[in-house]
Amino acid sequence: MVLAVAALAASSLLLAACSGSGTVTTNKPNSSKGPITVWYSNNQQEVEWGKQMVAAWNKDHPDEQVKGQEIPAGKTSEEVIGAAITAGNSPCLIYNTAPSAVGQFEKQVGLVDLSKIPGAANYIEARSGAVADQYKNTDGDYFQMPWKSNPVTIFYNKEMFAKAGLDPDHPKLATYAEFIAASKKLVASGVAPNAILPAPSSEFFQSQFDFYPLYAAETGGKQIVENNKATFDDQAGRDVANFWATLYKDKLAGKEKYQGDAFADGKAAMAIVGPWAVAVYKDKVKWGSVPVPTKDGLAADKTWTFSDAKNIGLYTACKNQGTAWDVLKFSTSKAQDAKLLELSGQMPLRKDLATTYAAYFDKNPSYKAFGDAASRTVEVPTGPNTVQMLQAFRDSWSRSVIFGNQDVKSALHDAAQKIDSIAKQP
Amino acid sequence: MTSTITSPRDSQSPAAQSTSEGRRRRRRPLGRNPLGLLFSAPYLVFVIAVFAYPLGYSVWISFHDFFFAAPGADVPRPFVGLQNFVTVLTDPAVIRSFGNVGVFLLINVPLTVVLSMLLATALNRVVHARTFLRVSYYIPYVTASVAVVAVWSFLFNDGGLVNSILGPLAPSPSWLINDHWAMPVIAFFVTWKQLGFYILLYLAALQGVPKELYESASTDGAGALRQFFSVTVPGVRPATVLVLLVSTVTGANLFTEPYLLTNGGGPDGASTSPVLIMYQRGIEQGQPDVAAAIGVILVILVLIIALLQNRFAGGRD
Amino acid sequence: MAVTGVQTRVPRRSRTAPKMSRGQTILRGVVLAIGAVAFLFPFYYMIIGSLQTKSDASLGGALPNLSNMTGQNYTDINSRINLFQGLLNSGIFTAGVLIGTMVFGLLVGYALAQLQWRGRGVTFALALLVQVVPFQLLIIPLYVLIARNYGLADNFLGMILPFAINSTAVIIFRQYFLQLPKELFEAARIDGAGELKLLWSVALPLVRPAMVTVVLLTFIGPWNEFLWPFLITKDAALQPLAVSLANYISNVAATASNPFGATLAGAAVLAAPVVILFIVFQRYFISTDIGSSVKG
C-alpha cells in the first residue's frame, strides 16, 4: 500500500512538472479582435434569443465571427464554468453567470475586470442605473455585466382563491397577518394541501426564494451582508423568519420538497417566483401576482425584492477580448434587450424599463408589475465567499425556521456570527 | 495491504509458498511469471495517466491554502501543514456527516450481504420465469436516479403510500424529514437500488460452486437450510468478501442520495455525507483545500475498514 | 459485443438443483415474486407516470387510467433531442469503456490472480485505492489534466479515458480467477501452453458468468454517467443520451405540459436499452461446471 501511494506520488509530481504553463494570466483586459465563442443558457427562450443575437452580429462582422453554444443552466453550470476556468478553456462570454459565483471566479482570475476597459463602467451605469452598484466588487470594480433579472413576487392561483372564498382579483396578501390568514383559509378549505411551498431543502440558493425577497421588502432594499457584516440579526430579520416559521409550524407550508412543480400541480395555492414563471404557468394555472408581503404592508411600487439575476462575464481565457467587449455591448443594446424581453419575458437590468419598452408592457400587461419591480431588486452579497455565507445562513434557517430545532432569534444570531467570521476570510 | 483479499486456496500454505518464491526471486527479479507485469502494464499506465496526478494533487492541496485558479494566474498557495485537517475535524457538520455514513454502513452493508446472497441462491435455482425474475431485480440498478427518487418520494412522503398503509403508525414528521429516519431510509434505498448488482456477483459466484458438494451434502441428509449454510455460504465466500468491500466503498462515497432524495442532506443535516460536504465545500464554495482534507480522511478510514473486514471475513483459513 | 471472445457453445441446461420439498419450492417462488414486485414497482411507476397527460401524485395515480394517458411526453422528447445521435454517442462512449475494461481488465485480473510477479501487491492495492477515492475529490484536477494537458476536451477519447478500465471490474475478475483451481493451470503449463493461450482457452470459458457480470455492471457506469461527459463536451453533437436527457429534464421539461411526466419519459428512454441488453445477456449466466473440468 505504501509503495502504491509512493508510486502514485512520484508519477503525479512528474506530471505536475510537465504541466507548468508559460503565460501569465491576469484580470487585465486585452483589446485584440477576432473570432470568439460565447455560451448562453439552454432554456428554450434564451437559446432562441442567443441564436438570433449571434446571427445578427455575424451578419455585420465577417472577421469577428461569434460561435454560440448552449450550456446547461441550473445547479451544475457553476461547476462547469469553474472547471473551465481552471483548465483555461472557458469561452469569451457566458450569458449565464450567477452573481453568487462571480466573487469566486474573480478570485480564480477567471473573469476580466471590465472597469479596466475604457468606457465600460460608464456604459454599465448608463444602462442599468443605480441597480448596477450592487454588482461592483468591494473595490468598486465590475467583474460582471448586470444583464437581466427575475424580480421575485407572489403568484397565486385565482381559482383556488375563489374556491376558498378569497377575492381572486384583489387578494389581501400585503401584510404578514393577512398572508397567514389567507393561507389558513386556503388550507382549511381544502383547496390545496399547502398555502405556499418554497423548496424547504438545504441547498445554499434556496434562501433566495424565501427569506431574501421578504427581507429586502421589509428593509427597503438591504443586503444580508453589508461592509462585511451580517445585517439580518435585527428586528426585520426576526420578523421575516418568524413569519415563515409560523407558516411551517401551522402546516401552511410543507417541510418536504415536492418532486415536481407544486404550483402547477395544484399542491400549493401560491408560489414565490419571478417573471420566467409567466410562460411556464400560462396554460396551466389562472394566476395573479402580488408583491411579497411585509410586516405592515407596502404599496407595490415601494416593495423591494430579490433580483434572481443572471449576468454576463468576460473570461480571462478569451483571446480576443476586444471583440468580446464589442459583442457584449451589442448584445445589451436597446434593440437586443427588447428581443430578450420579447422572447424570454425576463427583465433586462435597464433603468426606466417601463418607459423604454412602454409598447411591450402595454401589449403584455401581466409583465408590467415585474418591469416596475426590476428597479427595486437586491442582490446576493459580493465577494469570494458568497456561497459559503448563503450555505451558513441556509443551515441555520433549516434548523430553526423549517424544522424548529432551535429558536429563530438565536439561530439568526448564530448565522450572523458565522457569516461575520466567513467575511473576514481573504 | 498486498493481500487484502486472498482466496482460501491462495493462502492455504503460505509458508511453503513464500519459501519457494523467495528461492525463485533470486533468479528472476520480476517474479515467477514476469508476463503478469506485461498483462498489467496497460492498467498501470491507465492508473498513472488518469488517477495519479489528480490524486497526488488532491493530497498536496489538503496541506496548502488552496483554491483553483486559471492557468498562469499568480496566486499564493502557502503550505499550511495540518490546518485544513484541523478545520475539518473541528467542524461539527463534518463530524456529523461521518457519523451519518457510519449509521448508513451499519444498516446497508449487512442487509446487502444477507439479502443478495439469499436472493441470488433462490434465483439460481428457479426454473420458471427465470428471465423475468432476474430482470426485475436488476431494474432498480439500471434506472436513472431521478426517476427512482421520484418513486421513493411518492412512497415515503407525508401523504405517500407507506404512510397511508401505516396509518397512525407512520412516523411524525414523515420519513425523509425525520431526524431519526432520514438516514435509515437512505440506507434502505441504496440497499434496494444496488441489490441487483450484488445479486449478479453472487449469481456468478454460485456458478463456480461444484454441484458435487450439494450432492454429497444431500446424501448426508442435509436439508435445504443446512446445505445453504454448509455448502453455499462457504462456497461463495470470495464473493462475500467482494460484496463487503464494494458495498462499503460505495457506501462511504454516498453522495447522490442525500443530494437528491433528502435534498442536500436534510432535514437539518441529518443525512449529510462526507462526500456531499466535499461537494459543497470544494465545488460550490470554492474551498478545495478543506474538501481535499475531508477526502483524505475518508480514504484512510475506508481503507482501514476494508482491512478490518478482510481480517475478519477473508483470511480465516 | 465485447463478449464475442467467449466460446459460444450451446449452454447446457441448468444443473440438477438440490432437492427441495414442494412446499419449500412454492415458498421460494412466493418470496421471489413479492421481491420482484417491490423491485419492479419503480419501473412500472416510471412508465405509468411517463404516459400521463396530467401528473397525478396521489395514490390513484399509480394505477393506469385510460382517460389520462398520452404518448405526448415521448413525442416531446423526440422533438427536442436528437435521440438517434444521443444513442449513438452513448453507444460509442459505453463501447469504448466496455472494450477497455474487458480486454485490459481481464488481463490484469488474470495476472493478479494466477501469476506470480513483482508488483502484484502494489497493483492490487492501486486498484483498491482507485475504488476508494471519491470522484468528487478528483473531478476538477482530472478535468484540467484531460482537457488541458492531454488536450482531449470535446473528444470521445477524453470522455472515455477516466472510465477506460473499470477498477471494480479488475477486482471482480481477480476474485473469480482466484476461484479457479491452480492445478488446472499448472497442468496446462507443464504441457507447454503459453499464458495467453491459457487465458484464452482455459480460463476465459470458466469465468464466463463473471464476464457477463462485468459487462452488465460496467455498462451502467458510462451509460448513466452524466457529470463527466457533461463537463468534457461542450459540443452538443458529442453528448451522450444521459447528458442531453439531463439537460432536457432540468431545463426544458419545466415548460412541458406535464413536467413530471416528461422527466419520467426521459428516464424511461435512458433505461430501455439497458433493460433490453440485460434480457439478451442474462441467458449466458449458465453454470460452467468447474468441478467436472478439473476432473475431465
pLDDT digits (tens, 9 = 90+) for B225-244: 888 888 889 888 888 988 99
Task: Give the phi and the psi of residue C18 in degrees, each rounded to 5.
Answer: -60, 150
Q: How does DSSP classify residue C249?
A: I
| DSSP 8-state symbol, A380 | -
Q: Is the pLDDT of residue C252 over 90?
A: no
- For chain B, say whether C162 makes contact (Cβ under 8 Å): yes
Nearest to A411 by CA among A240, A182, A177, A155: A240
The pLDDT, as a whole number, for residue B146 is: 67
Pick the residue with more confidence: B284 or C54?
B284
pLDDT greater at residue A113 or residue C180: A113
Question: Mean per-residue pLDDT for C224-249?
Answer: 81
- Three-state secondary structure call for residue B287: coil
In chain B, % helix, strand, coil (3-state, to 5) comes to 70, 0, 30
What string of DSSP letters covers A7-43?
HHHHHHHHHHHHT--SSPB-S------S-EEEEEE-S
**C27: contact with B, CB 8 A cutoff:** no
Q: Contact B283/C124, CB-based, under 8 Å?
A: no
Rounded to an integer, the average pLDDT of B39-60 is 91
Residue A89 to residue C139, Cβ atoms within 8 A: no
Partner-chain residue, chosen from A8, A203, A256, that has the shortest CB–CB distance to B157 = A256
Q: At what angle are helices B288-309 and C135-144 packed, to 10 degrees? A: 130
Residues 6+ apart with CB under 8 A from A172: A166, A178, A181, A182
Q: Which amino acid does the sequence have at A320?
A: N
CB distance B139–C39 less than 8 Å? yes
Residue B42, Cβ density class (10 Å: 0-12 exposed, 13-18 middle, ≥19 buried)? middle
Q: What confidence tier does C58 reach under pLDDT thresholds 50, 70, 90?
A: low
Q: Confirm or reject contact between C231 and chain B (CB < 8 A).
A: no
Residue A176: all three cell numbers together: 404578514
- What are the C-alpha distances in Å from A126 to residues A346, B180, B214? 20, 55, 86
CA distances (Å), A367 to each of A97, A98, A214, A361, in order? 24, 23, 20, 6
The whole-number average pLDDT for the span A242-256 is: 94
Query: Measured between CA atoms, how close is C52 to chain B, in angstroms?
Result: 15
Higher pLDDT pick, C256 / B52: B52
Say if the Cβ atoms of B72 and A388 lie within 8 Å.
Answer: no
Average pLDDT of the segment spanning A363-369 = 87
What is residue C254's predicted lDDT score, i.e. its pLDDT? 62
Note whether C104 contacts B43, CB cutoff 8 Å: yes
- Subunit contact C259:A86, Cβ cutoff 8 A: no
Grid coordinates standing for A142?
Answer: 465590475
Burial of A262 (0-12, 13-18, 19+ CB in 10 A): buried
- Band (pLDDT 50/70/90 cuts) for residue A153 is very high
The C-alpha of C28 sits at a distance from chain B's nearest C-alpha, in angstroms, of 7
Cα atoms found within 13 Å of the Cα of residue B33, Cβ hemisphere only: 20
Contacts of C31 in chain B (CB under 8 A): 122
- Shortest CA gap C260–chain A (Å): 6
Suggest the residue from C79, C126, C245 to mutate for an interface test with chain A (most A CBs closer than 10 A): C126
Looking at chain C, which residue has its C-alpha nearest residue A88? C148
Residues 6+ positions from A64 with CB-CB distance below 8 Å: A33, A34, A35, A36, A320, A323, A326, A327
Q: What is the mean pLDDT of residues A278-295?
A: 89
Greater model confidence, C250 or B98: B98
Q: How far is B52 from chain C (nearest CA, A)?
A: 9
pLDDT band at A13 (very low <50, low <70, confident <90, very high): low
Measured CA angle at A415 (ends A410, A418), to 5 deg: 125
B47/chain A closest Cα distance in angstroms: 9
B202 vs A337, B115, B119, B236, CA distance in Å?
61, 11, 9, 7
- Whether A376 shows a pLDDT value over 60: the answer reads yes
| Terminal alpha carbon distance of chain A | 38
For residue A2, the model assigns a pLDDT of 54
Residue A175: pLDDT band by 50, 70, 90 thresholds?
very high
The percent of residues in chain B predicted with pLDDT above 90, rounded, is 35
Q: Chains near A, with 3+ CB pairs < 8 A?
A: B, C
Does the predicted interface ipTM exceed a cut of 0.90? no
Q: Which of C105, C129, C161 sits opposite B50 (nearest CB)?
A: C161
Q: Do C125 and A1 touch (CB under 8 A)?
A: yes
**Chain B residue numbers touching C21 (CB-CB < 8 A):** 224
Among chain C residues, the shortest Cα distance to A285 is held by C257
Chain A interface test: which of C231, C239, C243, C257 (most A C-beta within 10 Å): C231
Mean pLDDT score, A239-243: 96
Nearest CA in chain B to A397: B268
**Hey, of A44, A45, A46, A93, which one would you mutate to test binding to chain C, going by the most C CBs within 10 A of its CB?**
A44
Half-sphere exposure of C159 (CA within 13 A, CB side): 27
- Specify the higher pLDDT residue, C218 or C17: C218
Supply the mean pLDDT for chain B: 83
Task: Give the residue from C235, C238, C230, C269 showing the smallest Cα distance to C89.
Answer: C238
The winner for highest mean pLDDT among A212-226, B198-212, C238-252 is A212-226
Q: Do A82 and C140 touch (CB under 8 A)?
A: yes
Taking CA atoms, what residue in A is nearest to B54?
A12
Task: Tell me the chain C residues in contact with residue B161 when contact means C-beta distances shorter than 8 Å.
Answer: 59, 62
User: Can you tell me the distance from the alpha carbon of B314 to that of A59, in angstroms, rounded to the nearest whole number?
Assistant: 70
> Taken in order A332, A336, A340, A341, is the CA torsion positive or negative?
positive
B228 CB neighbours in chain C (<8 A) are none
pLDDT over 60 at A332, yes or no = yes
**C189 close to B (CB below 8 A):** no
Least Cα distance to A339 among A99, A51, A39 occurs for A51
Supply the mean pLDDT for chain C. Answer: 79
- CA-wise closest residue to B147 among C260, C257, A202, A76: C260
What pLDDT was estimated at residue A264? 86
**Residue pair C71/C283 in contact by the 8 Å Cβ criterion:** no
- Report the neighbours of C using a cutoff of 3 or more CB pairs below 8 angstroms: A, B
Contact between A164 and A132 (Cβ < 8 Å)? no
Main-chain phi, psi angles of A40, to 5 degrees: -125, 165
A393 touches A419 (CB < 8 A): yes
| Terminal Cα-to-Cα distance of chain B (whole angstroms) | 17
Q: What is the pLDDT of residue B314?
A: 61
Highest mean pLDDT among B272-276, C122-126, C180-184, C243-247: B272-276
- Helices and strands, number each (H, E), in chain B: 16, 0
B18: closest chain C residue by CA: C116
Residues of B in contact with C19 (CB under 8 A): 218
Distance from C-alpha of C12 to C-alpha of C9, rounded to nearest angstrom: 9
Tell me what the mean pLDDT of segment A388-402 comes to.
Answer: 94
pLDDT of the residue at A284? 84
CB–CB of B280 and A391 under 8 A?
Answer: yes
Phi/psi zone of residue B31: left (φ > 0), alpha (ψ -120 to 50 degrees), beta? Answer: left
The rounded Cα A395 to chain-centroid distance in angstroms is 19
Judged against a pLDDT cut of 80, whether residue C253 lies above it is answered with no
**pLDDT for res C9:** 36
Handedness of CA A159, A160, A166, A171 (dihedral sign): negative
Upstream peptide bond of A275 is cis (omega within 30 degrees of 0):
no
Confidence of residue B278 (pLDDT cuts 50, 70, 90): very high
For residue B4, what is the nearest residue in chain A, using CA coordinates?
Answer: A1
What CA–CA distance (Å, rounded) separates B186 from B190? 6
Mean pLDDT, chain A, as a whole number? 90
Residue C249 CA to residue C286 CA, distance in Å, equals 39
- Alpha carbons within 13 angstroms on the beta-carbon side of residue A393 total 29
pLDDT in tens, C145-159: 898 888 888 889 999
Q: Contact A265/C57, CB-based, under 8 Å? A: yes
pLDDT at C5: 33
Percent of chain A with pLDDT over 70: 93
Helix ranges, A134-175 (H)? 158-163
Q: Are the C-beta atoms of A308 and A274 separated by less than 8 Å?
A: yes
A contacts of C125 (beta carbons < 8 Å): 1, 3-4
- DSSP class of residue C16? P
Mean pLDDT of A309-316: 95
**For B58, what's the count of Cα atoms within 13 Å in the CB-facing half-sphere?**
30
* Angstrom distance (rounded) from CA C277 to CA C273: 6
Determine the residue of chain C that is closest to A280 in CA distance: C255
Please tell me the distance from the alpha carbon of residue A369 to that of residue A197, in angstroms, as a whole number.
22
Grid coordinates standing for A79? 461547476
Of residues C2 and A161, more confidence is placed in A161
**For residues A216 and A399, is the Cβ–Cβ distance under 8 A?**
no
Q: For B71, which of A15, A21, A204 is closest by C-beta distance?
A: A21
* CB-based contact A191:A160 (threshold 8 Å): yes
- For residues A272 and A198, is the Cβ–Cβ distance under 8 A? yes
* A235 CB neighbour count, 10 Å cutoff: 10
pLDDT of residue A76: 66
Start-to-end CA distance of chain C, whole Å, equals 30
Which residues have a Cβ under 8 Å from the Cβ of B147 and sit 6 or more positions away? C42, C46, C263, C264, C267, C268, C271
Cell of residue A75, nine digits: 445547479
Phi, psi of B271 (to 5 degrees): -130, 25
pTM: 0.87
With a cut of 70, say whether residue B17 has pLDDT above it. no
Residue C39 pLDDT greater than 50, yes or no = yes
Q: Which residue of B has its CA nearest to A24?
A: B72
Mutate to test the interface with B, among A210, A251, A257, A401 (most CBs of B within 10 A): A257
Is the pLDDT reported for residue A317 higher than 90? yes
Q: Between B18 and A278, where is the model more confident?
A: A278
Question: Whose grid coordinates read 466535499?
Answer: B278
- Which of A9-23, A164-178, A318-332, B28-42 has the weakest average pLDDT? A9-23
